[in-house]
Amino acid sequence: MSIELEQPDLVRDVAQVLISEEQIQAKVAELGARLSEDYRDRTLTLVSVLKGSLPFMADLMRAVKVPVRIDLMEVSSYGGSATESSGLVRILKDLSSSIDGRDVLIVEDIIDTGLTLNYLVRYLRGKNPRSLRICTLLDKPARRLVDIAIDYRGFTIPDQFVVGYGLDYGEFYRNLPFIGVLKPEVYTRA
Annotated catalytic residues are 112
Q: Which is nearer to ligand IMP, 44 or 162 (CB)?
A: 162
- SS3 (DSSP) at 41: coil
Interface with ligand IMP includes 60 (CB under 6 A)?
Answer: no
Q: In the complex, what is the shortest distance from the CB of residue 157 to ligand IMP, in angstroms, rounded to a whole number?
A: 8
Q: Which is nearer to ligand IMP, 42 or 125 (CB)?
A: 125
Contact between 162 and 179 (Cβ < 8 Å): yes
Distance CA 12, CA 116 (A): 31
Spatial CA neighbour of 162 closest among 190, 134, 181: 181
Q: In the complex, what is the shortest distance from the CB of residue 12 to ligand IMP, in angstroms, rounded to a whole number?
A: 19
Q: In the complex, what is the shortest distance from the CB of residue 61 to ligand IMP, in angstroms, rounded to a whole number?
A: 18
Q: How far apart are the first and last CA of the chain?
A: 11
The mark string for 117-136 relative to ligand IMP (x by CB under 6 A, - otherwise) is x-------------------
Q: What is the CA radius of gyration of the chain?
A: 16
Q: In the complex, what is the shortest distance from the CB of residue 8 to ligand IMP, in angstroms, rounded to a whole number?
A: 14
Q: Find the length of the chain.
A: 190
Distance CA 188, CA 190 (A): 6
Which residue from 8, 32, 52, 154 is in contact with ligand IMP, where contact means CB under 6 A?
A: 52
Q: Residue 180: beta bridge partners?
A: 17, 163
Site for ligand IMP in 101-120 (CB under 6 A): 109-117
Q: Which is nearer to ligand IMP, 35 or 163 (CB)?
A: 163
Distance CA 25, CA 29 (A): 6
Site for ligand IMP in 139-168 (CB under 6 A): 161-163, 167
Q: Quick count: other Cβ atoms within 10 Å of Cβ 160?
A: 13
Residues in contact with ligand IMP by CB under 6 A are: 52, 85, 109-117, 161-163, 167
